[in-house]
Amino acid sequence: MASQSPPPTVQPPHTSDGDSVVLERRTQRTQPPQMFQVVMLNDDFTPMEFVVRVLQEFFSKDREAATQIMLKIHLDGKGVCGVYSKDVAATKVDQVQDAAHQAGHPLQCLSEPVE
């Protein structure tokens, strides 16, 4: 059993004429968490209406916004559904993948860091 010596006590600094020195407190700034975008990929088999419904259900998009994102996915090959923290983005990807699998569609979704 090793014995440890107690930590030394810290005395506040003093000047020779009895005045004490005031230490300045510095606040530490933390970086905001890395954000991730959820990206849906186009395929030739998943119906457009299913993609719109997924965007409405899991990403809280209204019908018009969901349709615009679906068209971007269809025309560009992929589209951003939303930007979230890492854990939320991973959950959204899992929800979309599960819904597509249950409906029998090959819809793919992934999350990637926002740069």
Domains observed in the chain: 35-113 (3.30.1390.10)
- Average per-residue pLDDT for the chain: 89
**Global confidence as pTM:** 0.74
> What pLDDT does residue 21 have?
83
pLDDT in tens, 35-80: 999 999 999 999 999 999 999 999 999 999 999 999 999 999 999 9
Is there a contact between 95 and 58 (Cβ–Cβ < 8 Å)?
Answer: yes
CA dist 77 and 71 (Å) reads: 9
